[in-house]
Amino acid sequence: MSELLNTLMQDARVWQGHRHMQTTQPAEPTGYQVLDNQLGGLGWPKGALSECLLDTPGIGELHLLLPLMQRLSHNGKTVFWLNPPHTPYAPALAREGVNLDQVVMIHTEDEGDFLWTLENCLRSPVTGLVMAWPGKLASREVRRLQLAAEAGSNVCVLFRERRYAGQNSPAALRLELEPGDQQDLKVNVVKRRGSWPGQRCSLAMAHRADLSFREAPRVVQGPWPDSAR
């Protein structure tokens, strides 16, 4: 029992009040040094869920993932967009250095399709990043997705409404996003492994490209037959 507890503490899965634990869990740098500093010098956790909590889309949340999309897509890893609220503008992504050959957008028709698709994306060896916009998720469904994330070694970011910030979640990282002054993006760390929450920073987005949603690279459309699940 003590060996199991020591392992959990070493992996920073047990919160220890004011005590900081340096986690050795694999992660991908965000591309924003000021944010990485708030995340213990790491970034987006791999093999785990991350949540971005915001009131409305279009406040700069895609630019938060842009450096990671650039890096992974040019390393031959697939970037999945699952049920985005609008269609991403492919030429803008290309101008920002994202390899569109590695970008796949998927639309599903119902919750069952969504969960099945997300789980399979997380388990796929070709996946580098999954960005997903779920509707309402029960706690047991988030735990189910966390188990799928642990089976892979990729990054998964769920974009959810801020009202879910009070919901218990097994996600390794939870960020609350708000628009700031002069197109800055305010980031509040609600939860992260290995330390206490409450770190805040602002990311300059003043010269960000227009990633307005207009046309897609590749689209896969659900629903899927029951035999495929």
What is the rounded distance in angstroms from the CA atom of residue 86 to the CA atom of residue 215? 9
Q: Which two tokens stand for residue 212?
A: 């307005």
- The pLDDT, as a whole number, for residue 217 is 43
pLDDT band at 225 (very low <50, low <70, confident <90, very high): low
Say which DSSP state 83 is in.
Answer: S
Any residues with CB less than 8 A from the CB of 6 and at least 6 apart, and which? none
Degrees to nearest 5, angle at CA 229 with 158 and 87: 40
Domain ranges of the chain: 30-228
- The pLDDT, as a whole number, for residue 196 is 58
pLDDT band at 211 (very low <50, low <70, confident <90, very high): low
What is the rounded distance in angstroms from the CA atom of residue 96 to the CA atom of residue 66? 8
Longest dimension (CA), the chain: 54
Looking at the DSSP assignment, which residues form a beta bridge with residue 155?
48, 129
Tens-place pLDDT, residues 129-147: 999 999 888 888 888 898 8
Say which DSSP state 154 is in.
Answer: S
Pick the CATH number of 30-228 from 3.40.50.300, 3.30.70.1170, 3.20.20.140, 3.40.50.970: 3.40.50.300
